[in-house]
Chain A
Amino acid sequence: SYVLTQSPSVSVAPGQTATITCGGNNIGGKAVHWYQQKSGQAPVLVILYDNERPSGIPDRFSGSNSGNTATLTITRVEVGDEADYYCQVWDGRGNHPVFGGGTPLTVL
C-alpha cells in the first residue's frame, strides 16, 4: 500500500512563510491534495491537483509536486492558519484514498 510521510511539525511567526512537505515514492506522478483541519473541526480542502485552489481559498496557499516530494506553501502566515495539514493521493492499485500522517502548523 502506498505510504505518505509528512514533516512532523512546522512553526512559523505571523507574516512568515510555512512549508509543509509530503513524501511518497514517485509522488510527482500522482495528483496531491491538501486539507486544513483546525482543532475540533472537519478537514477543509485547500489545494487539489497539486496546486489548484478551490473557491474561497486565499492565494497565500499554493502547492507543488515533483519527484518524491509534494509541498504545501503558505505565505504571509496568519494566526488563523494554525491547524493540522494533511496531504492525500489516490492509490490507483487499490482504488482508494491515502492520507499522510498530518503536520501541525503552529503560528508563534
Chain B
Amino acid sequence: QINLKESGPTLVKPTQTLTLTCTFSGFSFTTSGVTVAWVRQPPGKALEWLALLYWDDDRHYNPSLEARLTITKDTAKRQVVLTMTNMDPVDTARYFCAYRPPGGGNAFHVWGQGTVVTVSS
C-alpha cells in the first residue's frame, strides 16, 4: 500500500524559507517512471502544481514560482523535500505531495493528507 505524508511548519513569517517534507512508503524512487509532485491549494481555491521530481532526478517547476522552489529527494530516508524561499502571505495554503506511478498515465494516483502552512508575521 502506498502512502505519503507531508510535514513541516504550520506558521512561517514573511520572507522566511519554507521547508516541507513528504515521507513515503510502498514504492521506491529507484523504480523507473516514478514521479512525485508537490501541489498546493490556497483556502477556497483550486489546486496549483508546484514541482515535479522524477525517478532519474529530473525536475520541473511551475514557471511562475521556479525562482523560489527547490525539490530534492533522499532515497534512503524515503523523502521528497520542497523548499520555497521568500514566503509571502499569498503562499498560505494546504500543501500536498502526490504520487504518479510508472505506467499510470499522467495522473496522480495517491495523495498525502496535506499540510497547512500559514504565512503571517
Contacts and interface: CB of A to CB of B under 8 A. Distances in A.
A61 interface: no
Interface string B42-75: 0000111100100000001011000000000000
Interface residues of B, number: 22
Interface string B97-111: 010000011111101
Nearest to A44: B111
A57 B106 CA distance: 18
A108 B87 CA distance: 40
Nearest to B51: A96
B25 to A, nearest CB: 16
A42 B47 CA distance: 11
A33 B46 contact: no
A99 B49 contact: yes
- The size bracket of the interface on A is 20 to 34
Contacts of A96: 49, 52, 60, 62
Contacts of A33: 105-108
A100 B104 CA distance: 20
A102 B44 CA distance: 10
A9 to B, nearest CB: 13
